[in-house]
Amino acid sequence: MTEEFAALYVVPTPLGNLADLTRRAEEVLRTVPWVAAEDTRHSGPLLKQLGAQARTLPAHQHNEHEAAVRIVERLQAGESVALISDAGTPGISDPGARVVAAVRAAGCKVVPLPGPCAATTALSASGLLDEHFLFYGFLPSKGGQRRQALEELRDTPCALVFYEAPHRVLETVADMAAVFGERTLVIARELTKLFETVHSLPLGQALDWLKEDPNRQRGEFVLMLSGAPKGGDDGEGERVLKLLLADGLPTKQAAKLAAAITGAAKNALYERALLLKE
Ligand code: SAM
């Protein structure tokens, strides 16, 4: 490739199903002299299968700065580079943003390719009717910080999209139920793979549903919540709960009564009451 056309190509790779690699992505990976990969060993088989001749260089979370310098050098020498992560779109809860920023700052060309991304793939099958969505990615792994982050999102009038690891899905869903009360949760698991499931249910029932079958807790997850009612309305259940708590009722009784009066889920209101008391 000549200097004039040297570019950093941001190339999404499949989430699971190899047939999801686009023809354009395939062509770029086959023809560029360099591929910057999150994990060169992980991406090796894909590149081999494509018959790619490119040399690889690592560009992961811990070396992104140095990788960016090397990539800019290659581009300035007139050689194109494809940037890939282990799966999905680089820079989306994956390394890549720093490399792109450095390349742009150096005045070199960045060419984004459309392609697989767990968030948009999951959303397209969610059936959530919110006009807008907010992509959050991973929540903090520590309980207190996670609940705090969720609290901050509570009144956001957009569908909320999270990534989550299997070993944290139960605690995250429990925290969501405690913070958000009544919402719709859509659980998308193992997208594009053999055990792909997309399941929609009231948030208050989600923990029990996940616990009913350990297989439901396995694999990779996108969790999507319907947005807050516009105008920051807390919902009828929570409004009544707050009144009862303010009147001095014990937590459990307030949750029980608020649930009976409004039809909201008792457990979710109880968790919410505990948080409000904190
Ligand atoms: N860059 C990727 C993208 O474009 O979606 C995301 C990478 S992030 C490190 C990995 C997370 O994405 C997983 O923990 C999971 O939350 C989500 N994810 C990736 N593949 C998935 C799949 N096949 N099904 C459901 N979620 C997936």
pLDDT of residue 17: 97
45 and 144 assigned to the same domain: no
43 and 86 assigned to the same domain: yes
To test the pocket of ligand 1, the residue of 17, 220, 223, 224 to mutate (highest count of ligand atoms within 8 Å of its CB) is 220
Please state the φ and ψ torsions of residue 161, each to the nearest 5 degrees. -120, 120
142 and 65 assigned to the same domain: no
- Ligand 1 neighbour 38 (Cβ under 6 A): no
Which among 116, 149, 184 is the end of a domain? 116
- Please tell me the least confidently modeled range out of 34-38, 49-53, 258-262: 258-262
Alpha-helical runs (H) found in the chain: 23-31, 40-50, 64-76, 97-105, 118-124, 143-153, 169-180, 203-212, 236-246, 251-262, 266-277
CA 216, CA 201: separation in Å to the nearest integer?
A: 14
17 and 110 assigned to the same domain: yes
CA 75, CA 138: separation in Å to the nearest integer?
A: 32
Identity of residue 154? R
| pLDDT (mean) for 266-275 | 82
Strands across the sheet containing 133-138: 133-138, 159-164, 221-225, 184-189, 197-202
What is the chain's alpha carbon radius of gyration, rounded to the nearest angstrom? Answer: 23
157 and 131 assigned to the same domain: yes
Closest atom, ligand 1, to C-alpha of 196: 24
pLDDT-derived band at 230, boundaries 50, 70, 90: low
Closest atom, ligand 1, to C-alpha of 91: 1
CATH number at 221 reads 3.30.950.10
pLDDT of residue 239: 86
- Ligand 1 neighbour 188 (Cβ under 6 A): yes
CA atoms within a 13 Å half-sphere pointing along the CA-CB vector of 243: 12
To test the pocket of ligand 1, the residue of 10, 222, 223, 224 to mutate (highest count of ligand atoms within 8 Å of its CB) is 222
pLDDT of residue 271: 80
7 and 112 assigned to the same domain: yes
Total domain count, the chain: 3
Residue-wise pLDDT tens digits, 83-139: 999 999 999 999 999 999 999 999 999 999 999 999 999 999 999 999 999 999 999
Q: Are 159 and 228 in contact (CB under 8 A)?
A: no
- Ligand 1 neighbour 170 (Cβ under 6 A): no
pLDDT at 2 over 60: no
Of all residues in the chain, the percent with pLDDT exceeding 70 is: 97
- Ligand 1 neighbour 119 (Cβ under 6 A): yes
Distances from the Cα of 181 to the Cαs of 33, 95, 201, 253, 270, in angstroms? 52, 34, 13, 17, 9
The two three-digit tokens of residue 102, written as one number: 């450095």
136 and 170 assigned to the same domain: yes
247 and 207 assigned to the same domain: no
pLDDT of residue 234: 55
CA 58, CA 75: separation in Å to the nearest integer?
A: 16
45 and 90 assigned to the same domain: yes
Q: Distance, CA 240 to ligand 1 centroid (Å)? A: 38
Which among 56, 90, 116 is the end of a domain? 116
- Ligand 1 neighbour 164 (Cβ under 6 A): yes
Average pLDDT of the chain to the nearest whole number: 94
24 and 98 assigned to the same domain: yes
| pLDDT (mean) for 212-234 | 86
- Ligand 1 neighbour 30 (Cβ under 6 A): no
Q: Are 218 and 166 in contact (CB under 8 A)?
A: yes
Torsion of CA 40, 45, 46, 48, to 10 degrees: 100
123 and 204 assigned to the same domain: yes
DSSP single-letter state for residue 144: H
Q: Which of 207, 159, 148, 217 is nearest to 183 (CA)?
A: 159
Which domain covers residue 204, as residue numbers? Answer: 119-225
To test the pocket of ligand 1, the residue of 11, 13, 15 to mutate (highest count of ligand atoms within 8 Å of its CB) is 15
99 and 191 assigned to the same domain: no
pLDDT of residue 232: 43
pLDDT-derived band at 233, boundaries 50, 70, 90: very low
pLDDT-derived band at 56, boundaries 50, 70, 90: very high
Residue-wise pLDDT tens digits, 156-176: 999 999 999 999 999 999 999
The two three-digit tokens of residue 117, written as one number: 């991304």
Q: Are 99 and 83 in contact (CB under 8 A)?
A: yes
CATH number at 36 reads 3.40.1010.10
- Neighbouring C-beta atoms of residue 129, cutoff 10 Å: 9
Which among 67, 87, 116 is the end of a domain? 116
Question: Comparing 5 with 3, which gets the higher pLDDT?
Answer: 5
Residue-wise pLDDT tens digits, 168-205: 999 999 999 999 988 999 999 999 999 999 999 999 99
CA 255 from chain center: how many Å?
A: 32
